[in-house]
Amino acid sequence: MQGTEFITRFEKYCPQWLAEPGDPVGLHIGTLNKPVKKVMMSLDVRPAVVQEAIEKKIDLLVVKHPPIFRPVERLTTDDVQTKMYADLLQHDIAVYAAHTNMDIIENGLNDWFCELLGVKNTRYLVETHQIRQKKLAVFVPNENAKALRQALAEAGAGKQGNYEATSYSINGMGRFTPTLGAKPAIGQVGTPEQVQETKIEVIFNEQLEETVVAAMKAAHPYEEPAYDIYTLDNGAKKFGIGRIGELAQAQATEDFIALVKQQFQLAGLRVVYPKIKKEQIKTVAICGGSGEKFYWQAVAAQADVYLTGDVYYHTAHDMQETGMLVIDPGHYIEQLCKEKMVAQFNQWKNEESWDAEFIVSETSTNPFSFK
């Protein structure tokens, strides 16, 4: 398995363009242009994780938190914090990060949190992206229509819900006259020509426009294909960060807090009780990581409780006045991504017949302990 091959499959599931603006996702260290036999999934890149990767002869380290989130001013090996970058390069271990895009994707981290807590009928807490649909209409000789439809499908066009390779075709007559300098696939320079052609229509996400057009031109027999591209008002796909949904049955507040501790295997957590204490929890909002800035969206959605990490002291005061319960289970609950992502990797391994091993990092990167 090539590193580029694995990441191409990874980015179909977790594309970089879904990350929040300025989020440094993608390849951070090393190269993907190499054979990869062993991949390890970690939440963070820390010196202990790097040592584990070296000992286990890892080729590619995939992480949730980008190791170079802010510029590195000095790259010295006297500092253990920066020496780990040199160690990674020395042992040819590539590092690839998927951060907020892993929070936003369908079947991503926030969805896994909801599954763990029994939160159903979820919707986005904050909409972040809206991907419009486009339509390509292209005219091709009848005998080349099947091959062109196949090329468009392979480029990702024609996906609608649970269907793929969808298209529409209609036959007609195409007319053209090649002029001086033309190299016509059909006809001769200066002679009017008419050809039985098929008009093929396919839809695709706007991010795929360059890929789809390039595939169309590569498969088309004409040196100057005739085609149109339309932006559609219907079928826009929305994405968002955080989730909000409902418990199957309302739970007593203290029972729900105990459930959070149990499901995330926490020794302790922080709770911001509203001035008027809630007796029951039904509507749950959640955003993994540091999502305190979205608490007003949770209030506006009438959530009974909001779960997020790293709540700031003064923000907690403001939260307390809203009437909404806030639970801060910490940032480290995101470690759930390790097991979940490796299970996904192994599914792709079976589908692609990869000769590779995928493992979960055994190193805890949680800096906090409860006494």
Instruction: Write the DSSP string, 254-316.
Output: HHHHHHHHHHTT-S--EEE--SS--SEEEEEEEESSS-GGGHHHHHHTT-SEEEES---HHHH
**Amino acid sitting at position 306:** Y
pLDDT given for residue 246 in this prediction: 98
Determine contact, residues 271/325, Cβ cutoff 8 Å: yes
In degrees rounded to 5, what are phi and psi of residue 288? -65, 160
Domain boundaries, the chain: 3-100+335-360, 106-129+239-329, 133-231
The amino acid occupying position 192 is: P
Q: What is the pLDDT of residue 277?
A: 86
pLDDT, residue 105, reads 96
Considering the domain 133-231, what is its CATH architecture? 2-Layer Sandwich (3.30)
Asked if domains 106-129+239-329 and 133-231 share a fold, the reply is: no
Q: What is the pLDDT of residues 93-134, one digit of tens each?
A: 999 999 999 999 999 999 999 999 999 999 999 999 999 999
Give every residue of the chain whose pLDDT is below 70, as ranges: none
What pLDDT does 235 receive?
Answer: 81
Per DSSP bridges, beta strands 38-42 and 60-63 are parallel
Strand partners, 195: 174
Domain 3-100+335-360: CATH class, spelled out = alpha beta
- The whole-number pLDDT of residue 161 equals 83
Helix (H) or strand (E) holding 94: strand 94-97
Q: In the CATH hierarchy, which fold is given to the domain comprising 106-129+239-329?
A: 3.40.1390
